[in-house]
Structure 1
Amino acid sequence: MSKEFEIAREFEVDATPEQVWEAITHGTGGYLWPMQPPEPRVGGTAAFGSTVAAYDPPHHLVVRSEDVGFPTQSANQLEHVVEERDGGRRAWVRYVHSGIFTDDWDNQYDGANRHTDFYLHTLREYLTHFAPRPVGFAQLNGPEASQAPDAFTAVGRALGLPDDLAEGAKVSVRGPGGRALDAVVDYRDPYFIGLRTDDALVRFFGRNHWGAPVGISIHDFAPDADAEANEAAWQGWLNGVYSQS
């Protein structure tokens, strides 16, 4: 049965409204994935065939699609409201994701709701530590075995993270090829893990909780970032997490 949904969040970030606007329009690869920037006018085109419904830089952006292309969703809208704080040195952001789920409503809503917190946290990490540096973006999914209900716990173990490790801890994790990777654990819950290094944001998605494979995205801001090499290295690492001994 079709049913509307709305997911709303508000937060402040150490960035100007202009920096937030640049991130949500042209810098999406720094925290989400690279997307077509919205055409700068009401009625213009935006990513995935959506339409710009509001465009007032750097304060208000709405993009909407009535033909999402997913079997479980028939409409999707993303709204950002951005205001300055502290004389323009900080920004307040209100984000609203709304639309219509046509099937599996509870599962779809739970996944979208939890992903929202992780993506917006990553946006703040990007704005605080890396913007406006260019990014090399890579993403990948685990094998079929990573869809098991308890599959995400294996990711934390493979990284060498204690179960009780708190957010903000500095760690040396076991990355691709057994290489030590110095990082800060900037996000940690049963569904997601976020690592921040000097040059990258590495994000781990426990999408097995919603019937999909575990995923990884790598946002590499190093001058010599190689997205293809990152994808290959982390794909091998993730496959190894679920390989049979």
Structure 2
Amino acid sequence: MTHEFEVRESIEIDATPEQVWEAISTGPGIDSWFMGRNEIEGREGGRTRMTMGGLAHLGTVTAYEPGRRFGYASDQNPDGTFMAFEYLIEGREGGSTVLRLVHNGFLGDDWEAEYDALSVGDRMYLRKLAAYLEHFPGRTSTYNLFAPGSRVTGPARAWAAFKDAFGLRGEISPGDPVRVSIEGLPPSEGVLEWADHGFMGARTGAGLYMLLLGHLGHVVVEYHDYTDDVDGERLETAWQAWLEATFA
């Protein structure tokens, strides 16, 4: 049985409407803050493709008004479930932008847990988008890491591990200095961007991290690198080893 849902969120971003449009409506733009590798056929009725974990998720562009409105919907699954996203862009004086998101569709039998995860996740990914546009303008991700870990019982355990990976102690808040340090990688200095609802984001000079406790208690490490000299294989190996050692 399917269950209809809707999530509405908005955020003010220190970027122009044109910059926001590029980030939400083009493949390289979406790659730079969201999940997977994305391809967008830039027109209403055009096709979309997100590839992640060897799987391709297909959809259709439902709205395409450059600088104002962009929407797409996933293809319907055999059980009738699907998701649709619509972004509305509103420029503000001083060059900032308000971005409004409507995320709706139909979920399956586990809809309550899925809805709770989506409600929090949408808000956190908008924060990630804002951090990308504010601190890495004009750059796109050259390497994306999406490293899923095991299921964790108890959010406190995950939160303590996230703080340790970022070199944080005690009470934390956005703006705190971080030191990303795990075995197998050179340490890197950065800044904590957000820490809320099981999501912790930090930026370094090279890229943007997000550690999260997701749906059903699964830990995930995400990273976007905006340089041309990242060793992706080394990065993935180190973070997968961290996940396995930390949450064994």
TM-score band w.r.t. shorter chain: 0.7 to 0.9
Is the contact made by 2:185 and 2:235 (CA closer than 8 Å) also made in structure 1?
Answer: no
Is the contact made by 1:218 and 1:230 (CA closer than 8 Å) also made in structure 2?
Answer: no
Is the contact made by 2:120 and 2:197 (CA closer than 8 Å) also made in structure 1?
Answer: no
SS for the counterpart of 1:23 is helix
Q: Taking structure 1 as reference, are residues 212 and 221 closer, same or farther at Cα in structure 2, changes over 3 Å only?
A: same
Q: Taking structure 1 as reference, are residues 52 and 8 closer, same or farther at Cα in structure 2, changes over 3 Å only?
A: same
Give the structure-2-normalised TM-score.
Answer: 0.86
Check if 1:138 corresponds to 2:145. Answer: yes
Residue matched to 1:202: 209
Check if 1:169 corresponds to 2:176. Answer: yes
Deviation per CA, 1:179-235, whole angstroms, max 9, x where unpaired?
A: 43312111112411111111111110112xx32521101111123123222211211
Residue matched to 1:107: 113
Please list every run of 5 or more consecutive structure 1 residues that lacks an aligned counterpart in the other structure. Answer: none
SS for the counterpart of 1:12 is strand
Residue matched to 1:30: 32
Is the contact made by 2:206 and 2:225 (CA closer than 8 Å) also made in structure 1?
Answer: yes
Q: For the aligned residues, what is the CA RMSD?
A: 2.1
CA distance in 1, matches of 2:21, 2:37: 14
Listed as ranges, the matches of 1:7-86 within 5 Å are 7-26=7-26, 27-47=29-49, 48-68=57-77, 74-86=81-93
CA distance in 2, matches of 1:91, 1:103: 37
More strand by share: 2
Say which of 173, 188, 191 aligns to 1:184: 191
Q: Which amino acid aligns with 1:43?
A: G
Residue matched to 1:4: 4
Residue matched to 1:122: 128
Give the structure-1-normalised TM-score.
Answer: 0.87
Residue matched to 1:232: 237
Is the contact made by 2:62 and 2:72 (CA closer than 8 Å) also made in structure 1?
Answer: yes
CA distance in 1, matches of 2:60, 2:197: 35
Deviation per CA, 1:141-172, whole angstroms, max 9, x where unpaired?
A: 12x3x432344134235324224211211132
Is the contact made by 2:11 and 2:99 (CA closer than 8 Å) also made in structure 1?
Answer: yes
